[in-house]
Amino acid sequence: MDIQLEKKKGIQKKHIPYIAGGAVILALLVWIIFGNHASTLRIDGDALNIADVTYGEFNDYIRLNGQVQPISIVQLSPEEGGIVQEKVVEEGAHVKKGDVILRLSNSNLDLQILNAESELAEKQNLLRNTQVTMQQDKLNNETEKVQLDVDTRRKLRTFQQYERLYNERLISREEYLQAEEDYQVAQKQHALISERLVQDSIYRTIQMDQMEDNLHNMRQNVLLIRERKDKLEVRAPIDGELGLLDVELGQNITAGQMVGQINDLSDFKIEAMIDEHYIDRVTNGLPATFERQGATFSLKVRKVYPEVREGRFRTDLVFEGNRPENIRSGQTYYIDLQLGEPTQSVLIPKGTFFQVTGGNWIFVLDKDGKKAYRRQIRIGRQNPQYYEVLEGLEQGERVIVSGYESYKDNEVLILK
């Protein structure tokens, strides 16, 4: 007969491993769901640069290094080519408008002048000979006309006499008709010679005018060639300083070649190079200031050059009001260029963290200042002192603005 065994109640030893395993799995699930998995890094808090987030006036300006330049530069280029014979003035000298700077020589130009003068003399002789010939022709024509006048009057008298005699039947009709025909021929000859004299006079006038015009043009040509010889002296076009003279004695200079420049020192401008990031915001008329000798001086943007080189573009600024004493070309001024009106914004001081984050995130300290957590932010404008924070930070918070190069991908910093 079988004996029924009574089942033991409660947790038995064989169940303990299963219970322990379940507890470990449950704890792991709770850690995965509710635990903080952010990577952390312990750092020395004393080595950090910690700044307060503030709310205040944001001045929209950038700081530039500007170099003083003459208000304008005029290029020196000879109008005529030649060989450098003499350098009258050296670089750095102050010159007046019209002062001779270089003297050139050009043998070909001398030959052209001689040829032009020789041709002019030949034309002048030809004109005089033509004038004499025309005058002689005119006198001959007038003499011929005088003779025809006399002949016509004589034949008129003969005709009139023969007419009376014929009417009185003292001469034959043939004699009368011959006298009439002779008089008519003389009249026609007189009319023809008179018309020829008129046409000859018109032709002579036209021919003389043409020759005078040609002669005038040749005289002008000779004058122009002589003026070209005068242009072998390179003169200063304005008052100023000879800033450059790049020639040597005996050097062959072509017409239009740049040989130097004159700096106009009647006023000055400041030339500054600006990062291409601001090219859309820098326009003519923007105000700027700089401090020099304990005083503040005002400028404005006169010209913005559109060409970008090596990530920067050029801008010219001119003075508004007073200039610094003893201003010289080549001096460097530190300029604050105002890009817009001041606004009220959330601000953080500038720091090297921006080089790593690009302004997209920053470490924010907790209230105790023992930990710093990575937070996404959005930065707008910046000036030499502050970043304008558009999103992610509030006034009164504290942030780390020193460099983040050693933090890598850590999201929590524990400050020791």
Interatomic CA distance for residues 336 and 332, integer angstroms: 13
pLDDT at residue 327, rounded to an integer: 87
**pLDDT tens-digit profile of 111-149?**
877 887 777 777 777 777 877 787 787 788 778 778 888
* For residue 1, pLDDT beyond 50: no
Angle value at C-alpha 193, between 188 and 195, nearest 5 degrees:
95
Order across the sheet with 343-349: list the strands. Answer: 54-58, 343-349, 386-391, 378-382
**pLDDT tens-digit profile of 191-211?**
888 888 888 888 878 877 887
**pLDDT tens-digit profile of 86-118?**
888 888 888 999 899 999 888 887 787 788 777
Interatomic CA distance for residues 208 and 134, integer angstroms: 9
The CATH architecture of the domain made up of 61-104+233-340 is Beta Barrel (2.40)
Which CATH number describes the domain made up of 38-58+343-415? 2.40.420.20
pLDDT (mean) for 8-30:
60
Domain range list for the chain: 38-58+343-415, 61-104+233-340, 108-230
Identical fold at 38-58+343-415 and 61-104+233-340?
no
Most confidently predicted of 12-21, 40-49, 94-103: 94-103
In this structure, are residues 109 and 225 in contact, taking their beta carbons and an 8 Å threshold?
Answer: yes
**pLDDT tens-digit profile of 359-403?**
899 999 998 888 999 999 999 888 889 999 999 999 999 999 998
**pLDDT tens-digit profile of 205-229?**
887 788 788 778 777 777 877 777 7
